[in-house]
Chain A
Amino acid sequence: MKAGVENAQTVLTLEDVTFGYGGNAVLDTISLAFRSGEFVAIVGPNGCGKSTLLKIMAGLLSPGHGAIKLDDRPVSSFSRKNLARHMAMLAQSNEAPAGMVVCDLVGMGRFAHEGWLSRGTARDIAHIDAAMQTMAVTDLADRRVGELSGGQLQRCRMAMALAQDANILLLDEPTNHLDLKHQYALLETARMQAATGRAVIAVLHDLTHASLFADRIILMDGGKVLADGAPADVLTPENIAAVYGIVTVAKTFGRAIVHLPESAVE
């Protein structure tokens, strides 16, 4: 646990957020606060509302009840472009037109910083180059999206989100489509982003990944926050049994917490 995080500024708060399609609530009175400089992982079983929560934070869905505040201002009062300067998101869908060139794709991240008549400034180019270097896609700059593998495309899209240079980075299952090496590389990048003072909030599937990289884990179930805190406090066998309905044994390797089914470990 980094000491600085406790005192860091709160950038994003959710107050009693409730959301539902029709009658059934997907999110049920959720209150959370996110500080700059921390890497938060949101985990939970399928359909627990974690992606919905991320979309609500990004202002893609408006909550039925409650408020989301960015620097003490309601998110809904931001224009999309202004919001994009504060908050970047890597959406889950791996969608990009096959004919688009990679450097154009990464360049899309700068849209929020462009004016009607000012594009491609030195600052824009610096951010694009830095983002491509971070995600190790500089070699792909002139390739077309259609020629990329799923993993390469995912890294390019991550570079796009980084080029957006926003203070808050929302990642919706960012390790999808990636192989082992790039999964770890991407999570490491996310942690580095948090270390530079950004708030990184990621929806993750893999509990081991979450425990290994995140400063804080939010465990969700049925639209509610079941546990919120340091990995070791959240990923306990009791919590896992309550949420996933299986009895596990927790093994720790350094930071990592691995949950194995009890029946398999004898």
Chain B
Amino acid sequence: MKAGPGLVLVTMAFFLLCGLHLTAGARFSAPALVFDALFDHDPRNYQHVVVIKQRLTRLVVAGYVGAVLAVSGLLLQKILRNDLVSPSTLGINSGAVAFVIFGIYLFGLNGAALFWPALIGGFAAVAVAFLAAGLVSRGRRDPLSLILGGAMTATLFSSATTFVISLDPDRFGNLMGWLVGDIGNFDYLPLAWLWPVGVTGIGFALVLCRQIDLLTLGTEQAATLGADPRLVRAGTLALAIPLAISAVCVVGPIGFVGLVAPHITRLLIGETGRPALGFCTLCGAVIVIAADIAARTLLAPQLLQVGTVMALCGGIAFLVIVVATLRRRAA
């Protein structure tokens, strides 16, 4: 598929799912009602309030989270030249969660202040994952070793999280949804001041896109083509990690959007250039919005957590990607 039609297609899917998201729920709302609620809002009409306060806020959160995680995953996959990498498989999510829990337990932080421990946790997780991968691979450059390093990192940090929670479970009672990754009704509050992270991150990613593309040809070739590999790699990591962290801060560790969205992008329109980045952004948003619709309606009136729905679907997708990658390599 060419980039143009691809972008049109994903944009259409995006708006279609937005509409579906606003109408679907525990109770179906007629499109006319949704339209009224959006453009002719009546604060006394309960159904209008439901559409705006419960669905629109969730929709925005889901779209934001999907977009930033997808871009973060694409950037990581490109600069590390590794199709299996994503914020969750590198352990970034687990690292951020662990540090947020430490922040709450040790310093009683809350709200906006939690972004900083989460950011430190994200960088720490990447450092540990690289270290572990370096030891695991013993100098050979094997894309699989980075994933093993990431898995070790994730276990390491989630153990630490578990321990801190077990010290005082009651204190984290209202965090359970966040711990497994869920879009709550009040998640738009942290988003209200976190969105600049995502917007600047994606903006810079668009600007740096060409340099990042060069890096996919290998460090040496990129250098002789005129990019500074170390600078580009460091800069891209400095973009990708805060992007993922800003999503973790809002909804908790939602995995695999960052893995699956870049793969869909690559499959449909290739991975080079700014159109691919735009496609990936929208694709991520579409995936999380769809997952949120599924979480709200599959077992309605019971709510599932978006994080667990994503983990289940994403895990299966990861399995398929792994088997396909390995088969291709064996062939």
Q: Do A and B come from one complex?
A: yes
Residues of A within 8 A of B (CB): 55, 58-60, 79-85, 87-91, 93, 95-101, 104-105, 108-109, 111-112, 114, 116, 119, 144, 157, 160, 164, 170
Q: Are A101's CB and B272's CB within 8 A? A: yes
CB distance from B53 to the nearest CB of A (A): 41
Task: Give Cα A58 to B210, complex, Å.
Answer: 21
The 9 closest A-B pairs by CB, nearest first: A84-B226, A112-B226, A89-B224, A99-B266, A81-B226, A95-B218, A104-B272, A91-B221, A91-B220
Q: Are A80's CB and B227's CB within 8 A? A: yes
Q: Could you say which of A60, A104, A111, A116 contacts B226, with CB atoms under 8 Å apart? A: A111
CB distance from A113 to the nearest CB of B (A): 8
- Which residues of chain A come closer than 8 Å to B217, judged between CB atoms? 95-96, 105, 108
Q: Are A88's CB and B270's CB within 8 A? A: no
Q: Are B270's CB and A100's CB within 8 A? A: yes
Contact with A along B211-239 (1 / 0, CB 8 A): 10110111011011111100000000000
For window 189-229 of B, CB contacts with A under 8 Å fall at 207, 210-211, 213-214, 216-218, 220-221, 223-228
B81 at the interface (CB under 8 A from A): yes
CB-nearest residue of chain A to B232:
A80
CB-nearest residue of chain B to A163:
B225
Task: Give Cα A55 to B219, complex, Å.
Answer: 12
How many chain B residues touch A (Cβ–Cβ < 8 Å)? 24
Contact with A along B95-133 (1 / 0, CB 8 A): 000000000000000000000000000000000000000
CB-nearest residue of chain B to A142:
B2
Q: Are A89's CB and B270's CB within 8 A? A: no
Q: Could you say which of B211, B218, B227, B271 contacts A91, with CB atoms under 8 Å apart? A: B218
Classify the secondary structure of A's interface with B: mixed
Q: Are B220's CB and A55's CB within 8 A? A: yes
Residues of B within 8 A of A (CB): 78, 81, 207, 210-211, 213-214, 216-218, 220-221, 223-228, 266-267, 270-273
Task: Give Cα A101 to B267, complex, Å.
Answer: 12
Interface-central residue, B213, B214, B272, B273, by most chain A CB under 10 Å: B272
- Which residues of chain B come closer than 8 Å to A80, judged between CB atoms? 223, 226-228
Q: Are A83's CB and B272's CB within 8 A? A: no
CB distance from B84 to the nearest CB of A (A): 14
Q: Are A112's CB and B81's CB within 8 A? A: no
- Which residues of chain B come closer than 8 Å to A112, judged between CB atoms? 225-226
Task: Give Cα A90 to B225, complex, Å.
Answer: 9
- Which residues of chain B come closer than 8 Å to A157, judged between CB atoms? 221
CB distance from B280 to the nearest CB of A (A): 12
- Which residues of chain A come closer than 8 Å to B78, judged between CB atoms? 97
Task: Give Cα A87 to B220, complex, Å.
Answer: 13
CB distance from A144 to the nearest CB of B (A): 7
CB-nearest residue of chain A to B262:
A99
CB-nearest residue of chain B to A98:
B266
- Which residues of chain B come closer than 8 Å to A82, judged between CB atoms? 226
CB distance from B63 to the nearest CB of A (A): 25
Task: Give Cα A159 to B271, complex, Å.
Answer: 20
Q: Are A99's CB and B271's CB within 8 A? A: yes
Task: Give Cα A109 to B225, complex, Å.
Answer: 6
Known: A95-B81, A97-B81, A114-B210. A170 touches B270 (CB 8 A): no
For the complex with contacts A80-B227, A88-B224, 6 further pairs of A-B residues with Cβ separation under 8 Å are: A80-B226, A91-B220, A95-B221, A96-B217, A105-B217, A114-B210
- Which residues of chain B come closer than 8 Å to A87, judged between CB atoms? 224
Interface-central residue, B207, B224, B227, B272, by most chain A CB under 10 Å: B224
